[in-house]
Structure 1
């Protein structure tokens, strides 16, 4: 996701006043409400929902990203610029969602970024026109070189997004694939004070450690994504994971054995594996 330097220039020179403003929208299929923005030109929707304000502040949030399935890739910069920001890239491959965090210190290819724990939610899907990723991101409010809202989760945050319409990842099966510069970008102003929800725990199934929240979109997406089935072992046989809970992935230390009737499947390898029926 190669944001050009013009993005940084725009944000520095124009400030926050030029950013599109976020509004609330809710997903009719999941009932989850987000604070975000839909770009009518790019046909991209980006939304965020955060847990209730607390002390100490939470380190997680839920993101929804909806984009045309025809895009080579779509990306988000949580910090609003390419450099020193938490980035995400998303694209479809063989009816699977390929989603992962990236980071870079300059205007060069962002590489895989360790630390964030991503959990795809059940409402994530692909159909003939759109890809929708709804995911819980833990350990995500602070990253190398920055933080959400500059550490104030009731402030204002510029969020940027990019689209690659003429290029595709060199290896679309690999979440860490080399990608070429995007074709276009835009950004919006996210009012973090309006993004907190008292329903957050229900969005993630009542668990803050094993399950993930649901997302919203203005685009109907009815065809669920498929994923590759994997076998797992566990160092703690007595610990089992529940449906939709994470069962493997880079840096994951929780249960890797699913409860009876569930199978651990690769949703966004190598970062995230999930227990599904």
Structure 2
């Protein structure tokens, strides 16, 4: 069952002149300056900010995803395709943010993907019209069979997003719930060289100032009523312990052993 439509497959390995490209905007709730895009028809905003360039490069970034709460779910493809890309699915449930990473090797239902470590930042919230997930994603620049910018964090990249407006997750309380095919999608160009910020450390610590910042651009005006805090949301638990490109923890919790599930690419903590 296809979930992210197969047209996105045509993006792989191609060079594009995209009609829409990312621009900078300031999130007035967190003070974070993102490089992103707002879709005026689908009412979806996607923003990215990366740490300063370093050697070796960092494996993390911050993402903002804003969408109507009436969507059954909203999806994001960091690599611009469905297959072999890091995916995220987002929806609200009982005023909580349900957000988790997924991955698939083909045009079938993406399953939960272990490895990325997601931390919702305090400006994430749900109100009567929109859901706003602002999250730090660690161990997220590389994934099975792919990487952000094809490994070049100064390159031009393509980001895709999807919306399901007529279907709901089968179990909306479960971040790994079965989902049906989405109804619409689009994509935009992201110049990764312009997404790095020297303020990144203050962004993840929550110390970025929100006073006297420019009015947020590129966000739906109705998000102004979203409260600055929300209750804790379920997020994916990091279970990866090794594999090609992995730089996270390699010691498993008590009672678990690091097992090579797909050597040498992926190892997982198992009982």
**Residues 18-44 of structure 1: per-residue CA shift (max 9 Å, x gap):** 351100000112110000100000000
Q: Is the aligned partner of 1:22 residue 2:19? A: no
| Match in the other structure for 1:80 | 80
Q: What's the TM-score once normalised by structure 2's chain length? A: 0.79
Taking a change above 3 Å as real, the CA distance of residues 205 and 71 of structure 1, as seen in their structure-2 partners, is same
Unaligned runs of 5+ in 2: 208-215, 241-248, 254-271
| Match in the other structure for 2:5 | 4
Provide the alpha-carbon RMSD of the alignment: 2.5
**3-state DSSP of counterpart to 1:204:** helix
Taking a change above 3 Å as real, the CA distance of residues 149 and 250 of structure 1, as seen in their structure-2 partners, is closer
1:15-54 mapped onto 2 (5 Å cutoff): 15-54=15-54
Given that 2:98 and 2:233 are in contact with CA atoms closer than 8 Å, whether structure 1 keeps it comes out as: no
Q: Quick one: distance in 2 between partners of 1:221 and 1:46?
A: 19
The counterpart of 2:230, out of the listed 220, 225, 228, is 225
Taking a change above 3 Å as real, the CA distance of residues 143 and 77 of structure 1, as seen in their structure-2 partners, is same
Q: Quick one: distance in 1 between partners of 2:226 and 2:26?
A: 16
| Match in the other structure for 2:60 | 60
Q: What's the TM-score once normalised by structure 1's chain length? A: 0.77
Q: Quick one: distance in 1 between partners of 2:53 and 2:14?
A: 30
- Offset at residue 199 of structure 1 (A): 0.1
Q: Quick one: distance in 2 between partners of 1:76 and 1:228?
A: 18
- Offset at residue 249 of structure 1 (A): 3.5
| Match in the other structure for 1:251 | 239
Count of residue pairs brought into register by the alignment? 229
Given that 1:19 and 1:187 are in contact with CA atoms closer than 8 Å, whether structure 2 keeps it comes out as: no
**Residues 179-202 of structure 1: per-residue CA shift (max 9 Å, x gap):** 000000000000101000000000
- Offset at residue 206 of structure 1 (A): 7.7
Q: Quick one: distance in 1 between partners of 2:31 and 2:196?
A: 15
Q: Quick one: distance in 2 between partners of 1:49 and 1:228?
A: 22
**3-state DSSP of counterpart to 1:16:** coil
Q: Quick one: distance in 2 between partners of 1:157 and 1:120?
A: 24
- Offset at residue 8 of structure 1 (A): 1.8
| Match in the other structure for 2:186 | 186
- Offset at residue 7 of structure 1 (A): 2.0
| Match in the other structure for 1:272 | none
Q: Is the aligned partner of 1:118 residue 2:113? A: no
Q: Quick one: distance in 1 between partners of 2:175 and 2:49?
A: 24
- Offset at residue 226 of structure 1 (A): 2.8
Q: Quick one: distance in 2 between partners of 1:75 and 1:197?
A: 25
| Match in the other structure for 2:246 | none
Given that 2:69 and 2:129 are in contact with CA atoms closer than 8 Å, whether structure 1 keeps it comes out as: yes
Q: Quick one: distance in 1 between partners of 2:167 and 2:27?
A: 30
Q: Quick one: distance in 1 between partners of 2:112 and 2:13?
A: 30
Taking a change above 3 Å as real, the CA distance of residues 7 and 51 of structure 1, as seen in their structure-2 partners, is same
Q: Quick one: distance in 2 between partners of 1:146 and 1:33?
A: 27
